[in-house]
Structure 1
Amino acid sequence: MLEEWFFWAYERHQNVLSWYIRPLFLLPFCFFAYRRSLKGIAVVLLLLLSSMFWFPKPAAVDPHVQQFLQMEQDYLLGEWNLAKMLMTLLVPGSLAALAYAFWKRSWLYGLLVLNLIAVLKIVWSIYFGGDSVSAVVAPALTGLVLCNAVIAAALYWLRKRKRQPRQY
């Protein structure tokens, strides 16, 4: 049953639209961390985890996408050793660091962690994905640029708002 679900989800994960929207979930994640809302963070994480299978299975799949997902599948279903477990723990660890930075209202550290997450994802993809990495780079960089732009705009807006006297 679990194996059936796994392959059903992976078929839908071949739709690259899910690859483009997933990084954007970091925006509400950062927002709820900034607002110190554990419930909001939990909901965003649930949506992020489920987003890979929101889209229908594509009619045609780019060979690089197929190759990259096969590598990911082999990685997940392959033998697990201590090094692989520690590397995989970087995902929740980096999300915790991102939440902590925004929880503490540290925009600079938040942006640093956000950029580090994207760079590490690309480096991991290059290391394990080989030639298929081209499928991952565009969604990762697009998400990174958008997230940086929105967070920078939010910081600008907050600072501008603080400088203006309140009018009643």
Structure 2
Amino acid sequence: MAFIDTFIEWAWARHHNILSWYIRPLFLLPFCYFAYRRSGLGIFITVLALATSMFWFPAPKTVSTEVLSALQAEKEYLLGSWTIWKLLLALLVPASFIALAAAFWKRSYMLGLLVINAMVLIKILWTLVIFDKHAALAHLVPAIVGLSVVNLGVLYWLKRHRL
């Protein structure tokens, strides 16, 4: 158990680096691409990369109070009591990824874009509910930047391939 506790502390310190907040939405691009190519292995590798990306960057030397507040709220939320509504909300994450993969797998690109935007908007709403105002606003910029890049990337790819 000491190894697991040490690993969790190590990973959690790196999760404070907001660079991971900016890159996380970008994983939707390869995810959609691999779903379009019908590559289960590509989808799996992308999800694995997404899950581990929170600790790719070094722990920051200084952390803003907004980031500390956001991550403390996230930690309290995850470690707090789990109700049926909290469980159903958590199940939205895998359900959203399944819906996104299905949309691109079946070549329903506009539905895929709708799912992408819904995923990010639900995440933004979630942060507005569990974070304080300043922490939620700190999270908002990476979410909007990521969503914009993903939307532009998918639309560019669709236009380039005339789909």
Counterpart of 1:65, as a letter, is V
1:72-111 matches, cutoff 5 A: 72-111=74-113
Q: CA deviation at 1:79?
A: 1.1
Whole-Å Cα distance in 2 between the matches of residues 80 and 28 of structure 1? 32
Task: Compare 105-114 and 6-15 and name the one that shifted more.
Answer: 6-15
The answer on 1:156 being equivalent to 2:159 is yes
Counterpart of 1:150, as a letter, is G
Whole-Å Cα distance in 2 between the matches of residues 116 and 14 of structure 1? 25
Partner of 2:38: 36
Whole-Å Cα distance in 2 between the matches of residues 151 and 124 of structure 1? 25
1:65 corresponds, among 59, 67, 90, to: 67
Whether the 8 Å CA contact 2:17–2:59 is kept in 1: the answer is yes
Whole-Å Cα distance in 1 between the matches of residues 7 and 126 of structure 2? 26
Partner of 1:115: 117
Q: CA deviation at 1:76?
A: 1.1
2:142 corresponds, among 139, 142, 150, to: 139
Structure 1 regions of 5+ residues with no counterpart? Answer: 163-168
TM-score computed with the length of structure 2 as normaliser? 0.95
Give the fraction of aligned pairs with identical amino acids, expressed as a percent: 49
Whole-Å Cα distance in 2 between the matches of residues 4 and 111 of structure 1? 39
Whole-Å Cα distance in 1 between the matches of residues 48 and 143 of structure 2? 20
Whole-Å Cα distance in 2 between the matches of residues 145 and 48 of structure 1? 18
- Number of aligned pairs? 160
TM-score computed with the length of structure 1 as normaliser? 0.92
Partner of 1:21: 23
Counterpart of 1:144, as a letter, is L
Partner of 2:51: 49
Whole-Å Cα distance in 2 between the matches of residues 158 and 93 of structure 1? 28
Runs of 4+ in 1 over 4 A off after TM superposition: none
Whole-Å Cα distance in 2 between the matches of residues 130 and 115 of structure 1? 23
Structure 2 regions of 5+ residues with no counterpart? Answer: none
RMSD of aligned residue pairs (Cα, Å)? 1.0
Q: CA deviation at 1:82?
A: 1.2
Post-superposition Cα deviations, 1:48-78, rounded to whole Å, max 9, x if no partner, equal 0000001010000010001000011111111
Whole-Å Cα distance in 2 between the matches of residues 52 and 13 of structure 1? 5
Q: CA deviation at 1:81?
A: 1.7
1:127 corresponds, among 122, 126, 129, to: 129
Q: CA deviation at 1:3?
A: 3.3
Whole-Å Cα distance in 2 between the matches of residues 81 and 4 of structure 1? 29
